[in-house]
Amino acid sequence: MSETAEKSLNFIEQIIEEDVKNGKHGARIHTRFPPEPNGFLHIGHAKAIYVNFTLAKKYGGVTNLRFDDTNPVKEDTKYVNAIKRDIEWMGFEWTGEPLYTSDYFEQLYGFAVDLIKKGCAYVDDQSPDEIAAQKGTPTEPGSHSPFRDRSIEENLELFEGMRNGEFEEGARVLRAKIDMSHSNMHMRDPLMYRIKKVTHHRTGDDWCIYPMYDFAHGQSDSIEEITHSLCSLEFENHRPLYNWFIEKLEIFPTRQIEFARLNLNYTVMSKRKLLRLVEDGVVDGWDDPRLPTISALRRRGYTPESIRDFAERVGLAKRNNIIDIGLLEFSIRDHLNKIAPRVMAVLRPLKVVVTNYPEGKTEYLTTENNPEDESAGTRELPFGRELFIEQADFMEDAPKKFFRLAPGKVVRLKSAYIIEYVDHKKDAAGNVTEVHVKYLEDSRSGQDTSGIKAKGTLHWVSAEHAKDAEVRLYDRLFKDEAPDSHKDRDFMEFINEDSLEIITNAKVEPSLVEAKSGDRFQFQRLGYFCVDSKYSTDGKPVFNRTVTLKDTWAKQKGK
RNA sequence: UGCCCCAUGGUGUAAUGGUAGCACACCAGAUUUUGGUUCUGUUUGUCAAGGUUCGAGUCCUUGUGGGGCAACCA
């Protein structure tokens, strides 16, 4: 992360620099990432993680990881582990041990008692429906609960009763006593505690009352002395309440700052919708490479560096945004171009016979592993009389701008020889089954004295030496740019039925059978591929296509 | 018909009262044993109307458009 002197600051950095300049909190910066352990992290979270961790680090601060586990109905330890793994994989380190809002339940209870004693909270015996009815609407004020003016003593007694399990679920709640006619709905006597006789993933059955988000999140920030609590725009309306509790409780004044969350086109990001895709079997689990979850991106072959680069590029502001998926693809191409070894793989093989090459002969040709990185070295490729090239690299009736193999054309085989078209065979259906060519013996790569210039260069594998491999090609999961933006159509209607193509008979160069789970390659002229962690077996790797190479030829064809 | 937030090329994001810049995308060209990479160049923008000012993307007013808020969810 090289910071050029010219680089302008985003609005949060400006706030932080102002705070540092003024010596606020001793110029200390402390942020937190507060996931609820009820689902998997996605690329939107990745931005929030990036923002919280890099901002703190930039100003010499640290970041807490705090699981916001105040709703035992939805939360589970299995998510805790997945979330920790994803953050670590992204390359970030939280300070100390992971923290949990549930660690503060006793303290939070004390805060509530304090508020009751100050006359700022009361126990309400009404049902959810009654409370909702009194809430009013955004344009009409609410009305007071008949229990609003209970004595402090009675409130204290009832609240303790709630804690002790004396009442049924839903029978009573604790509410803040603020203003039922406030223009901000969140200030109309919001709920602080509700009764839930549910086992919590960490505290077990110790509690049967649990604090609401609004009475847990800000207070946890205060307890941890978080200086800047960064959250998404939807919590803007909660900030007055956040500050009200800080003021009444006289606790550490964390400042909440909201920023716009990340949105990506051609996908969905909400946990609920992601869960539906998984449960309906549309995708193959939370880490299906077509999903925008961090575990899916990892499995697909994205690097942590590329995710961080992307998070930096999307910027930080308060404006709602929809980022083009193409930007994410740029980030991963940019990184993989520098680090991925180039290899030969033919996805849809077409047999080529080099008629003037000796039968039974094998020669080994040297090729560079990565033209962008000399230190990557070279390797030897077997070459023989029978080869496979890509079906799309031969055309019987080629347009003038087709730089590949066709009647009357010559092409270079990458790191090998220039070949010249001789003949081709077709089956009964008219499909080309075999192409015959002659090679130019004096055109060997690196020792070319033929004087011939070939316009195109093809990738290839030796038929005798090539290994079979399975390759999985992914396309966007949705056909619509914003599948969940249609008011009267379900996002599932926009599923792209062709988002996964499995090729079982790809031919790859022999070295690839030794590839290990997670290894990344550039299949020359095709794209970047990663050995799948789920379906690969020893000696039989399955390759996931991370992203294609930029393809200006395909673009031209489309015209 | 309440409150809060937002509005700069196709998409994002800068300019903090003084030349509207950067990235991605797009288009054109150069290089290339990957139609990749790299390099060069072009096109495209301040929501509207008033006001303040020598000067407004920036400040003020009023509109318009978009987003959020009425879960015992977070």
| Whether the Cβ atoms of residue A440 and residue A360 lie closer than 8 Å to each other | no
Q: Identify the band that residue A539 occupies on the pLDDT scale cut at 50, 70 and 90.
A: confident
Alpha-carbon distances, residue A388 vs A222, A328, A344 (angstroms): 65, 33, 10
**What mean pLDDT is predicted for residues A328-335?**
98
Evaluate if residue A559 carries a pLDDT over 60: no
Which of the nucleotides lies closest to A71 (Cα–C1')?
A: B73
Q: How far is CA A454 from the centre of its chain?
A: 42
CA dihedral A92, A94, A97, A101 (to 10 degrees): -120
Q: How far is CA A444 from the centre of its chain?
A: 45
Round and report the angstrom distance from CA (A319) to C1' (B65).
14
Which of the nucleotides lies closest to A169 (Cα–C1')?
A: B72
pLDDT (0 to 100) of residue A556: 81
Q: Is A392 (CB) below 7 Å from strand B?
A: no
Evaluate if residue A363 carries a pLDDT over 90: yes
Q: Which of A84, A261, A273, A348 is catalytic?
A: A261
For the stretch A290-325, pLDDT in tens is 999 999 999 999 999 999 999 999 999 999 999 999
- Tell me the β-bridge partners of A469: A506
Q: How far apart are the first and last CA of chain A?
A: 39
Helices A239-249, A105-117: axis angle to 10 degrees equals 80
For the stretch A420-447, pLDDT in tens is 999 999 999 999 999 999 999 999 999 9
Q: Identify the band that residue A513 occupies on the pLDDT scale cut at 50, 70 and 90.
A: very high
DSSP assignment letter at A264: B
Helices A304-313, A43-58: axis angle to 10 degrees equals 80
Percent of chain A exceeding pLDDT 90 equals: 96
Note the pTM of the prediction, 2 decimals. 0.96
For the stretch A465-501, pLDDT in tens is 999 999 999 999 999 999 999 888 999 999 999 999 9
pLDDT (0 to 100) of residue A6: 60
For the stretch A6-43, pLDDT in tens is 678 999 999 999 999 999 999 999 999 999 999 999 99
**Catalytic site residue A36?**
yes
Which of the nucleotides lies closest to A447 (Cα–C1')?
A: B33
* Neighbouring residues of A314: CB distance < 8 A, sequence distance ≥ 6: A47, A262, A321, A323, A327
Alpha-carbon distances, residue A216 vs A70, A101, A163 (angstroms): 8, 7, 16
| Whether the Cβ atoms of residue A367 and residue A379 lie closer than 8 Å to each other | yes
Round and report the angstrom distance from CA (A65) to C1' (B25).
36
Give residues 48-77 of chain A lying near strand B (Cβ < 7 A): 68, 70-71, 73-74
* Rounded Cα–Cα distance for residues A517 and A299 (Å): 9
Tokens for A106, please give them.
């006793």
* Rounded Cα–Cα distance for residues A72 and A473 (Å): 39
Which of the nucleotides lies closest to A171 (Cα–C1')?
A: B72
Percent of chain A exceeding pLDDT 70 equals: 99
Q: Is A137 (CB) below 7 Å from strand B?
A: yes
* Neighbouring residues of A432: CB distance < 8 A, sequence distance ≥ 6: A350, A391, A394, A396, A424, A425, A426
Q: Is A360 (CB) below 7 Å from strand B?
A: no
Q: Which of A28, A58, A74, A271 is catalytic?
A: A271
Q: Is A322 (CB) below 7 Å from strand B?
A: yes
DSSP assignment letter at A254: P
Q: Is A141 (CB) below 7 Å from strand B?
A: no
Q: Identify the band that residue A242 occupies on the pLDDT scale cut at 50, 70 and 90.
A: very high
Round and report the angstrom distance from CA (A311) to C1' (B42).
29
Looking at the C1' of nucleotide B72, which residue has the nearest alpha carbon?
Answer: A194
* Neighbouring residues of A302: CB distance < 8 A, sequence distance ≥ 6: A332, A546
* Rounded Cα–Cα distance for residues A306 and A530 (Å): 14
**Catalytic site residue A525?**
no
**Catalytic site residue A409?**
no
SS3 A471: strand
Which of the nucleotides lies closest to A446 (Cα–C1')?
A: B33
For the stretch A128-167, pLDDT in tens is 999 999 999 999 999 999 999 999 999 999 999 999 999 9
